[in-house]
């Protein structure tokens, strides 16, 4: 009986260990050529609280450090307008100069985001970057960048109320990691293939 109870205790602790592992990475804010913000679903064109957190974190960094551009990445996944365009309007309303905003509007998943932002950065001769997202998302982003040999740094806000709101997405990341693998295979020759995602009607531009 003691062994069974001990085993159940270990099994019950695994989700907690996983949750802490996801959110406890060492993510440091820093200067770079580009500050890159990944999009999140904008139902009915509205900014989700998780996306607002990413943008507010980026605004704080923008005001504290020196960046040449802020890159906004996200296509029209569940909205008529692209996530990048919706994010641009938000940042402009907060005082960011529109001339220093670059849009990547093809992406439909995180692999697309990272591949396309890398291509866009090269177009604008930007060598270093700091990616901004929610903390549940950062480990998968870093995994993708490493698999594709893309140098990048990552940062996200880790305030306790926000992390509590991310509990469901934290466990959905297990499935997201699995779904990422075939996209990584497709991205193996991304430099030759060019932009990934919906390239029919959107643009990657400044």
Q: Per-residue pLDDT tens for 91-130?
A: 999 999 999 999 999 999 999 999 999 999 999 999 999 9
Q: How far apart are alpha carbons 131 and 117 in whole angstroms?
A: 10
pLDDT reading at 8 higher than 70: no
Q: How far apart are alpha carbons 119 and 199 in whole angstroms?
A: 14
Q: Which long-range contacts (CB under 8 A, 24 or more apart) does 12-18 make?
A: 15/171, 18/170, 18/171, 18/174
Coil, helix or strand at residue 105: coil
Task: Calculate what percentage of the chain has a pLDDT beyond 90.
Answer: 62
Q: Which residues contact 183 (CB under 8 A, 6 or more apart)?
A: 109, 111, 112
- Of the ranges 4-8, 20-24, 25-29, 199-203, the best mean pLDDT one: 25-29
pTM: 0.87
**What's the pLDDT at 74?**
94
pLDDT reading at 174 higher than 60: yes
């Amino acid at each position: 009986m003691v062994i069974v109870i001990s085993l159940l205790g270990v099994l019950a602790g695994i989700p907690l260990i996983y949750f802490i592992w996801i959110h406890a990475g060492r993510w440091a804010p820093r200067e770079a050529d580009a500050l890159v913000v990944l999009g999140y679903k904008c139902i009915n064109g509205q900014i989700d609280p998780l996306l607002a957190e990413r943008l507010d974190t980026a605004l704080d960094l923008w005001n504290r450090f020196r960046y040449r551009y802020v890159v906004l990445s996200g296509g029209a996944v569940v909205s008529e307008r692209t996530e990048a365009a919706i994010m641009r309007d938000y940042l402009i309303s907060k005082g960011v100069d529109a001339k220093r905003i670059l849009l990547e509007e093809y992406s439909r998943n995180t692999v697309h985001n990272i591949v396309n932002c890398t291509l866009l950065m090269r177009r604008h001769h930007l060598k270093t970057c700091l990616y901004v997202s929610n903390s549940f998302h950062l480990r998968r982003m870093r995994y993708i960048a490493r698999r594709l040999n893309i140098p990048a740094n990552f940062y996200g806000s880790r305030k306790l109320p926000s992390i509590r709101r991310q509990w469901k997405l934290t466990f959905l990341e297990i499935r997201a990691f699995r779904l990422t693998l075939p996209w990584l295979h497709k991205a193996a020759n991304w430099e030759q293939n060019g932009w990934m995602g919906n390239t029919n009607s959107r643009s990657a531009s400044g």
